[in-house]
Structure 1
Amino acid sequence: MKSIIIVTASTGAGHNQAANSLKERFEERGIYVHIVDMFKATSKGINALISDGYKILATKLPKAYGAFYKSSDRKVINKTIFKNAFLATELRLKWIFNEFQPDLIISTHPFGAPIIGKLKEKGKINIPFVQIVTDFKAHYAYIHEQVDAYIAASNFTADSLTQKGIAPQKVHVYGIPAREAFTQKNYRKFSKDRPFQLLIMGGSMGLIAIEEAVAVLLTFEKKLKLVVVCGNNRDLYDKLQRRYAEQIDSGRLEVLGFVDTVHELMDKSDLIISKPGGLTTTEAIHKSIPMIIPFAIPGQEQENTNFLVENEMAIEVQDMTELHDHIELLIDDVERYQKMVENMTRLAKLYSVDAIIDLCSSLIDSE
């Protein structure tokens, strides 16, 4: 039986979700998959430093995170950072690869490229290596000449890789892997005969931002239905339940905790309000549901936002009080709304997990 190791890390949920989506689809084809969270596998201390450090920087010190992201997006600085910074993780992955002897390695995290690439460069492993770019613009962390194939989220992503020196034949626009439930198409057409339904993915946006968004949207005079998914943010869930009991009872507002039916909620909704993480954005593109982005972390999320806005798939909102005007514009201008839907549908046609699996199988067979 063919076997694959997928390397990920818990800096945001998207990398792990992409890894799990790939594992599920590979195993349907009879290919064994072992997922390794590289920093958890290294040590508790390293994992806390990287995962918790990312969370603190991204949520508490976003400007500092953005400055680091921008300054490290240069070849010389990036190579300096990765020269010895993750030696313990490199040694741990080397042991895991030698122990499991996989036929192929996939990374869904940018740090996989320099760490695994270095192992290949040193001749410590000789295994085909595929890197998934989980954002819409490739940071220099993704760049390593030892990567055999890149999976990109768009032609824009592909261009950002080739501009950094990656050979075009190595780059494949097959999309960020999403669960199969999101790839099932649903024809989307807005109707003024029913309430305009907004899906608010609130768990990662924070309590204050969501409270403000809900307060603004409940003043909307036109027919509007709000569905807020709080995820594991229990404080947000409890506060909304208490504060808006009347609106919940009337059916105008629905507040949910953690759910595994986001794909169904997207099908039922007309618009999603969310942060622009790579995977959430990919899921929205699959479902052709236009986005409103009220908050993006400086760095990859802001670059994702720029891509979505420039390609008319999303609207960026700088101030929550602007939500009212933007939503009213989309309700009144059906042609603009449908154009956003069509732009997302067109991009989604490029996405294929089956194509990723076929590419990986061909790399294994060519060895």
Structure 2
Amino acid sequence: MTRVVIVSARVGAGHDGAACELARRFRERGMRVDRLDFLDLLPGRLGRILCGFYQRQLTVAPRSWDWLLALLGTRVIAGLARRFARLATPGLGEVIDRDVVLTVSTYPMATHTLAHLKAIGGLAAPLAVYLTDPSVHRLCISPLAQLTVAPNEIAADQAQRWGARRTVVARPLVAPEFRPPRSWAERLRARAMFGLPEGQRLALVVSGSWGVGHVESIAADVAASGQAVPVVVCGRNERLRERLTAAGFRFVLGWVESMPELMRACDVVVQNAGGLSTSEALATGLPVLTYRCLPGHGRANAAVLDAEGTVPWVRRRADLEPALTRALAAGNTEPARPAPVAEVAS
């Protein structure tokens, strides 16, 4: 059986989400798929430490992510990061053998581990890189990858400037469950599922699987706009959930397994990072706004999504109310077409 290896990382949910959907589509084509986590390939507890540091950084000192990304954009520091990625090479080499016909990376550091394995002759299969963010950082690209899949034309241009070889543009990978409601009755059933009111406009506030950023301020500003009632998803951040509940917000959720139904229950999405949740919302036919976005990749993603006209970036509190008014008036959009697996597999 044809074997594909996909390497991701549990850093947030975006990289894993893309890997999961890509694996599903390959399996539908009769292929055997192995999904690996870059963090588990690192020696000892290094992967757990790295993941914990990143989460604490975004939670405690998010502005430092701007500085770190800037440093990682320099030639010297980027080179050191690539050397760090090589620490996962022995672990990866143990699971790569001759029956692998394609390797795919959905996480930048995994890209450089696979590229190093290819450079030293330990990987004969082609390497494809799937870019999960609308914007492209220097570390996302390796010239040793035979294919780089970008989510938009701006990202494709950025990737080529960083040295990507063959680059194609495909819609973001989103599970088929993320689709518009087929009827108003289906939307009402979704609202009943989560105990949401039937006759009010609902703004789904999302901030990634870790619930990071100025989430409380976003929810308060949405409520103060008078345009929609905030429905806040806190992900795995239980402290955030407790604070919002104590502050009197009525609709506060933790980790949500049935996100497609929740999105079909709502009228607009307000997000702060431009990652997987944004793609899922657009596939569900919801208008999306970026507001109080995260530093670093959050701002970079917001700029690209705004420039291509997909998701407006609301930069000031005073602009939120008219932006919500426009988004709600626009209503649902056409769901995005799925990324063609053939482009990745070829």
Instruction: Tell me if both proteins adopt one fold, taking TM over 0.5 as the criterion.
Output: yes
**Secondary structure in structure 2 of the residue aligned to 1:97:** coil
**Secondary structure in structure 1 of the residue aligned to 2:149:** strand
Residue 221 (structure 1) shift: 4.5
Contact 2:12 2:210 in 1 (8 A): no
Distance 1:50 1:264, change over 3 A: same
Say which structure is richer in helix: 1
Distance 1:313 1:175, change over 3 A: closer
* Match for residue 326 of structure 1 among 280, 303, 320: 320
Q: Percent identity?
A: 23
Contact 1:204 1:275 in 2 (8 A): no
What is the rounded CA distance, in whole Å, between the counterparts of 2:116 and 2:41 in structure 1? 18
Taking structure 2 as the reference length, what is the TM-score of the superposition?
A: 0.84
* Match for residue 272 of structure 2 among 270, 275, 288: 275
Distance 1:162 1:360, change over 3 A: closer
**Secondary structure in structure 2 of the residue aligned to 1:19:** helix
Distance 1:176 1:43, change over 3 A: farther
Residue 129 (structure 1) shift: 1.0
Q: Which aligned pairs between 1:161-180 and structure 2 lie closer than 5 A?
A: 161-167=159-165, 170-180=166-176
What whole-Å deviation, never above 9, does each CA across 1:41-95 have from its counterpart, x for those lacking one?
A: 333421123211221222222232211212222445423431x323330121112
What whole-Å deviation, never above 9, does each CA across 1:321-360 have from its counterpart, x for those lacking one?
A: x26x5234542x47x953x965xx4xx65x533x1x2234
What is the rounded CA distance, in whole Å, between the counterparts of 1:95 and 1:205 in structure 2? 35
1:214 aligns with 2:219: yes
Pair member with larger Rg? 1
* Match for residue 131 of structure 1 among 123, 129, 132: 129
What is the rounded CA distance, in whole Å, between the counterparts of 2:154 and 2:26 in structure 1? 27
1:86 aligns with 2:82: no
**Secondary structure in structure 1 of the residue aligned to 2:125:** coil
**Amino acid aligned to 1:352:** P
Contact 2:206 2:277 in 1 (8 A): no
Residue 37 (structure 1) shift: 0.6
Distance 1:313 1:337, change over 3 A: farther
Q: Which aligned pairs between 1:340-355 and structure 2 lie closer than 5 A?
A: 345=334, 349=336, 351-353=337-339, 355=340
Taking structure 1 as the reference length, what is the TM-score of the superposition?
A: 0.80
Residue 110 (structure 1) shift: 0.8
Show the counterpart of 2:301.
Answer: 304
Contact 1:205 1:274 in 2 (8 A): no
What is the rounded CA distance, in whole Å, between the counterparts of 2:12 and 2:271 in structure 1? 14
Show the counterpart of 1:106.
Answer: 104
Q: CA RMSD in A?
A: 2.9
* Match for residue 359 of structure 1 among 336, 343, 346: 343
Distance 1:218 1:279, change over 3 A: closer
Residue 22 (structure 1) shift: 1.5
What is the rounded CA distance, in whole Å, between the counterparts of 1:291 and 1:195 in structure 2? 18
Residue 135 (structure 1) shift: 1.0
Contact 1:66 1:297 in 2 (8 A): no
What is the rounded CA distance, in whole Å, between the counterparts of 2:144 and 2:297 in structure 1? 23
**Secondary structure in structure 2 of the residue aligned to 1:231:** coil
Show the counterpart of 1:96.
Answer: 95
Show the counterpart of 2:258.
Answer: 261
Residue 315 (structure 1) shift: 3.8
What is the rounded CA distance, in whole Å, between the counterparts of 1:50 and 1:219 in structure 2? 38
Contact 2:274 2:290 in 1 (8 A): no
Distance 1:237 1:76, change over 3 A: closer
Kindly tell me the number of residue pairs found equivalent between the two proteins.
Answer: 332
What is the rounded CA distance, in whole Å, between the counterparts of 1:159 and 1:187 in structure 2? 36
**Amino acid aligned to 2:38:** M
| Structure 2 gap ranges (5+) | 185-197
Contact 1:205 1:275 in 2 (8 A): no
Residue 5 (structure 1) shift: 0.9
| Structure 1 gap ranges (5+) | 249-253
